Amino acid sequence: MTLPLTRPHPGAADPNRPGSAEGPDRGRPDTPSAGPTAHRPPRRAIGFALFALGCLVVGVAAPMPYLTTSLARLAQANNALAEWWTTQPHWVYQALLVHASASGLALVLTPFQLSARVRRRLPRLHQITGRVLVAAIVTGAVPGLAVATHSYAGRMGAAGFGTLAVLWPVTAVQSVRLARRGDLAGHRRWALRLAALTFAAVTLRVGVYLGIGLQAPKTDAAVRAAFDRVYHWMPFGAWVPNLAAMEWWLRRRQPGRGRD
Ligand code: HEM
């Protein structure tokens, strides 16, 4: 993926400009154009740091048990999903291992790919990790789609995770297509939509823990029942709010430019 450094649309913020209004680290005090925002608390920097932390923690911690422990052992540890996969055809678990490894890599790479600092100082690295990211997304999405047809959440899982497994690589390809065409502003919008979809892995896990916590279950059986109630909604709940929030944010920043 070669990113030609072309002019942005007239009137649009230049995403390559240091301290650009579009960059995740916009208004950093050390950027020359930070101007009046230089002394403002870096709210967006904190938001980006939390986003990056979520991606790194979940990207490493979620796949780890599957890569280091046998399925039988995970199932014995009262892991509802692992128990479920012991009842499914063996290929589903193998597909899950490929899915979790590749998707974990995609999640870990996402903050680096979004960092304006990396883009500005190491543009070649941005292009290389961009290629690896797209390869990881495609490698994660294809088995993800297959696993969705055997989801613990049943038809809801097949519909919700299945839709995500299609949208995920399509969004990545659209982002790359626009970069190749030289439309950097469009590339950035689709890259941000892609990040919102990738972040589904974090929203899913935070949503499940919050959902169980709010039900305050007292016994193991109650925890399992609480998990089942929350998980039923997560195949859509993990990504629709992320995408809706990102779409709202994109339109608020550049009215009329969010649609492409
Ligand atoms: C964004 C597109 C994604 C799709 C469509 C997707 C799809 C799925 C599906 C269908 C399952 C099986 C869940 C079930 O049986 O209900 C699953 C599980 C899993 N996925 Fe993904 N996933 C995506 C992103 C990710 C990412 C970015 C990671 C990286 C951490 C990841 C890691 C895992 C892991 C570790 C599991 C095993 C279940 C668990 O321990 O939570 N997935 N995924």
> How large is the C-alpha radius of gyration of the chain?
20
- Give Cβ neighbours of residue 243 (< 8 Å, ≥ 6 apart): 193, 196, 197
C-alpha count within 13 angstroms, C-beta hemisphere, residue 157: 17
Cβ contact 72:105 at 8 Å: no
d(CA 168, CA 110): 13
Ligand 1 centroid to residue 139 C-alpha, Å: 13
Beta-carbon contacts of residue 40 (< 8 Å; ≥ 6 apart): 27
Q: Rounded to two decimals, what is the model's pTM?
A: 0.85
Q: Does residue 207 line the site of ligand 1, with CB under 6 A?
A: no
Q: Is residue 12 part of a domain?
A: no
Position in ligand 1 atom list of the atom nearest CA 235: 16
* Structural domain boundaries, residue 170: 40-253
Instruction: Please provide the average confidence, as pLDDT, over all residues in the chain.
Output: 86
Number of domains in the chain: 1
pLDDT score of 78 more than 90: no
- Ligand 1 contacts CB of residue 85 (under 6 A): no
Task: Give me the half-sphere count of Cα atoms (radius 13 Å) on the Cβ side of residue 130.
Answer: 24
Q: What separation in Å is there between the alpha carbon of 201 and the centre of ligand 1?
A: 6
> Alpha carbon 11 to chain centroid distance?
29
Residue 52 CA to ligand 1 centre (angstroms): 18
Q: Is residue 24 part of a domain?
A: no
Asked if the model's pLDDT at residue 23 lies above 60, the reply is no
Task: In whole angstroms, give the CA distance from residue 20 to residue 254.
Answer: 14
Residue 81, domain member (yes or no): yes
Is residue 20 domain-resident?
Answer: no
Give the pLDDT mean for 220-226: 95
- Residue 51 domain flag: yes
Domain-embedded: residue 29:
no
Other Cβ atoms closer than 10 A to 46: 10
Is the CB–ligand 1 distance for residue 58 below 6 Å?
yes
CB-based contacts of 114: which residues, under 8 Å, 6+ apart? 24, 48, 191, 192, 195
On the question of pLDDT at 246 being above 60, the answer is yes
Q: What is the pLDDT of residue 253?
A: 83
Assess whether pLDDT exceeds 60 at residue 207: yes
In a domain, 221, yes or no: yes
> What is the Å distance from ligand 1's center to 100 Cα?
6
pLDDT recorded at residue 255? 56
Would you state the structure tokens that stand for residue 231, as one six-digit string? 């998980």
Asked whether 24 lines ligand 1 (CB < 6 A), one says: no
Q: Does residue 224 lie within any of the structural domains?
A: yes
Q: Which position has the token pair 């979620």? A: 62
